[in-house]
Amino acid sequence: TRTTVLWVMLGLLIGILGSLAVPLAARRRLRRRLRHAPDESTRVEIEWQAMIERIGDLGVIAPRGSTPRQAGRFYQREAYLEGDQTEALHRVVSGVERSRYAPPGATIADIRTDTQTVVKAVSGVRRRKDRIRAAWWPTEGLVELRERRASVGRVLRTPLERFQDWRAERRDQPH
């Protein structure tokens, strides 16, 4: 019975750590993308895309090809945003438009806190199951884990492919 308890505890620990993998991967991916952004304009674009993905994870998906202004109107209508939430959304949309269309060297406001306000507001009007799914299975995290798995596969394949090439060359050489 002591062994059974240890196995159950080990299983629970692995389950808990495994369930944290996707949200932590999402957070790591966003931080890395922001850290490697060459300029403020790119940071704003990354924040905008991250907000769109997080809102999409909550089940509110703007029509494909929407401009920031069109997407903003869609989010305001579909998520029933009002007051400070609407103002935050307008600041986000204005920041994105400015980062895209302002002349080089123009000052661009940081939209991070406003994107967080908008996502929180959208989350507040969504069903509980949507909020749970968005928190535990964010698209950013799934993309990050897929990319990591692919890169590990490439790293592991490379030595094997080199060995196979070497072996084929040795076979083809006349003795």
Residues 7-33 pLDDT 10s: 888 888 888 877 788 888 899 999 999
CA distance 111 to 95: 7
Please give the structure tokens belonging to residue 161.
């492919």
70-128 residue pLDDT tens:
999 999 999 999 999 999 999 999 999 999 998 887 888 899 999 999 999 999 999 99
Structure token digits, residue 38: 């060459």
Structure tokens at 81: 């945003």
| Separation of alpha carbons 65 and 21, rounded Å | 31
Predicted pLDDT of residue 175: 62
DSSP state of 175: -
Query: Vertex 121, ends 116 and 124: CA angle to 5°?
Result: 125
Burial of 149-162, coded b for 16+ CB within 10 Å and e otherwise, reads eeeeeeeeeeeeee
pLDDT at 18: 76
Among 126, 106, 137, smallest CA distance to 61 is for: 126
| CA 118 – CA 111 distance, rounded (Å) | 11
What pLDDT is stored for residue 87 in this prediction?
Answer: 96
> Helices 40-57 and 139-172 meet at what angle, rounded to 10?
110
The distance in angstroms from the start CA to the end CA of the chain is 64
Q: 128-136 and 2-35 helices cross at what angle (nearest 10)?
A: 80
Whether the model pTM is above 0.85:
no
Q: Which two tokens stand for residue 1?
A: 């019975």
Measured at the alpha carbon of residue 65, what is the angle toward residues 50 and 72, in degrees to the nearest 5? 55
Q: Which residues have CB under 8 Å from 61's CB, separation 6+?
A: 55
